[in-house]
Structure 1
């Protein structure tokens, strides 16, 4: 069944995940920071491939093979809070952890949990003279191969 990601997908930042398979425990998820409500934009958060051309003398067609994988440049845009500085401190430049995107919600046994090992590359206020809410852009580097489409752990 089709659905709208807004209102369903949850995005949480976890400071630690013990498992080498990048499947967090419920306790690790609970200890994380739910960022969903403050996000106004999301960019990247995917794996890209750099195909390799393999021409030969037998054909004018140039076939390709799959090459190295790399992570897309990834960022989250947040609304700035005029009293709290959670985004500025919890996602300060140099902070490492794990970005968890629950594409079908943080629902036990649901598929669709993507986990990205990350480091915050920058955390910058976005200044504007436009009639809009104050914003912060946080850019991330993905430091290792993400784990995709994992099963969300149970609530117990």
Structure 2
């Protein structure tokens, strides 16, 4: 079966939600709509994945260094944003110490599609980038992932 390939840029959507009521960390459509979509401000991003810290388990019976799954950990995660010359909305929303949720709709806003990831975060730092190069002004927001993220959750149904 051929794969229907797509490009994340222009498709994926990124939201910041201050709260999610459900203990499952899956937002309702009302919570998602009340959040702030910040996709258009993103110049680049790093992390936003979960990796396993494998445990090495070599033994004297073999020269092969085997491993077993260990604990999971979110990679160091950050966004590089374009800085608005007038407004500081994103800087204020994601100020150092802010807690909330980064919600990523990987395949866009497609209700019931299992492509929503939810990362509980606390903003660790926010730093402007200075350069003399011919490029737009940017700043970097680094986020600590405070607990296990939800990955592959269904996008909430659209409000009728």
The TM-score range, normalised by the shorter chain, is: over 0.9
Shift of 1:39: 0.4
TM-score by length of 2: 0.95
2:100 matched to which residue of 1? 97
Matched residue, 1:134:
137
SS in 1 for 2:31: helix
SS in 2 for 1:30: helix
In 2, distance between residues paired with 1:154 and 1:49?
Answer: 32
Contact 1:13–1:97 under 8 Å retained in 2: yes
- TM-score, normalised with respect to structure 1: 0.98
Count of residues in correspondence between the two structures: 156
Match of 1:48 in 2: 51
Structure showing the higher strand proportion among its residues: 1
Query: Does the alignment pair 1:10 with 2:13?
Result: yes
Q: 1:87 aligns with which of 79, 82, 90?
A: 90
Where in structure 2 are the equivalents of 1:55-94 lying within 5 Å?
55-94=58-97
How far does residue 67 in structure 1 lie from its aligned partner after superposition?
0.5
Runs of 4+, deviation exceeding 2 Å: none
CA contact (8 A) 1:104 1:111 kept: no
Deviation readout 1:116-140 (Å, 9 max, x if unpaired): 0000001111111111000011000
- The equivalent residue for 1:152 is 155
